[in-house]
Structure 1
Amino acid sequence: MKQESFTVEEATRAAERFCAYQERCHQDVERKLKKMGMIQDAIDQIIPHLLQHNFLNETRFAKVFAGGKFRIKKWGRVRIVRELKMRGLNKKTIDIGLAEIPEEQYRLTFDTLSRKRNNQLTETDKYKRRKKLADYLLYRGWESHLVYAKAKELIPDD
């Protein structure tokens, strides 16, 4: 099978559509262009074009990503930060993204999620139950001090 080749112009238009569909980070766009068979020189030409014409904006990406993962997937800050770092975003951009999550809403979501998960658990041994609850919340990226305090609150020692 012959691999399709693209001109810089065609690849630029494809990248514009790719970015217009949903917010992307530099890494996503670069991966897409490499998959299209573009050489590094072409990529180095296309990405600044996308930035200049506001198709690509990492601050906007961080805000949308953090807000979406929090609201839809109920992820905590730890997981969101980890995912954004994996996408090559810097600390300042990540902090701007996290600022999209209101503190009151964050606490309320954590409380609701904790209680819901605790009610779903069938484990009768309180220590195993507490561990299962904590593991679930930690996996979702909630801060450990919040998780352990909530687990102790919902499943007391008696």
Structure 2
Amino acid sequence: MYFSRATYTLDEARSKIESYCAYQERCHKEVREKLLKMNMIPEAIDQIIGHLIQENYLNEERFAKAFARGKYHQKSWGRVRIRMELKQRDISEFIIREALKETEEGYEETLHALALKRLEQIREKNPLKRKKKLADYLLYRGWESHLVYEKLGELIG
């Protein structure tokens, strides 16, 4: 079987990646991986990424803030999970700290609402098993363990 691998000129690749970045915020790692999949050589990748940064298509701080805001408000992720996900995308510690400021508004209230909602869904009667199921859920979502255990004591006793 024959597979044709598309090849792109520098201008074609630049144009395609500009659209890719304009569609939604991207981090450098995602863009680099996309360019590698397009079979671009390292020199071309560096040149295109430089262009994207210069033209403000690519901005790691803007990406990190949008990511943190989105995951916190849409998926109710806690800071631990957001930090871990940003680290996997090779975002610097300074930018991660800045991005986590996007989650400060109503943090405890969000945890409380999430815990109550999940507690209603847990059908387990045994209080210890209920506690464990709720704790596992909140920890998986990336909420700090001391806040989770505080909340368990408050809601289940």
Fold-level similarity (TM above 0.5): yes
Counterpart of 1:118 in structure 2 is 119
Counterpart of 1:92 in structure 2 is 94
| Structure 1 runs (4+) greater than 6 angstroms displaced | none
Deviation at 1:102, TM superposition (A): 2.8
Q: Deviations over 1:104-148 (max 9, x none)?
A: x11111100001111111111111110000000000000000001
**Among 31, 34, 37, which residue is 1:32 paired with?**
34
Q: For residues 14 and 89 of structure 1, what CA distance do their matches in structure 2 show?
A: 24
Specify every segment of 5 or more residues in structure 1 that has no aligned partner in the other structure, as ranges.
none
Q: For residues 132 and 104 of structure 2, what CA distance do their matches in structure 1 show?
A: 28
In the alignment, is residue 18 of structure 1 matched against residue 29 of structure 2?
no
**Among 73, 76, 86, which residue is 2:75 paired with?**
73
The two structures have a TM-score, normalised by structure 2, of 0.97
Q: For residues 136 and 5 of structure 2, what CA distance do their matches in structure 1 show?
A: 46
Specify every segment of 5 or more residues in structure 2 that has no aligned partner in the other structure, as ranges.
none
Q: For residues 98 and 150 of structure 2, what CA distance do their matches in structure 1 show?
A: 27
Deviation at 1:74, TM superposition (A): 0.5
Q: For residues 93 and 8 of structure 1, what CA distance do their matches in structure 2 show?
A: 30
Aligned length: 155
The two structures have a TM-score, normalised by structure 1, of 0.96
Structure 2 SS opposite 1:100: helix
Q: Deviations over 1:64-108 (max 9, x none)?
A: 0000000000000000000000000011101111111234x1111
Question: Percent identity over the alignment?
Answer: 55
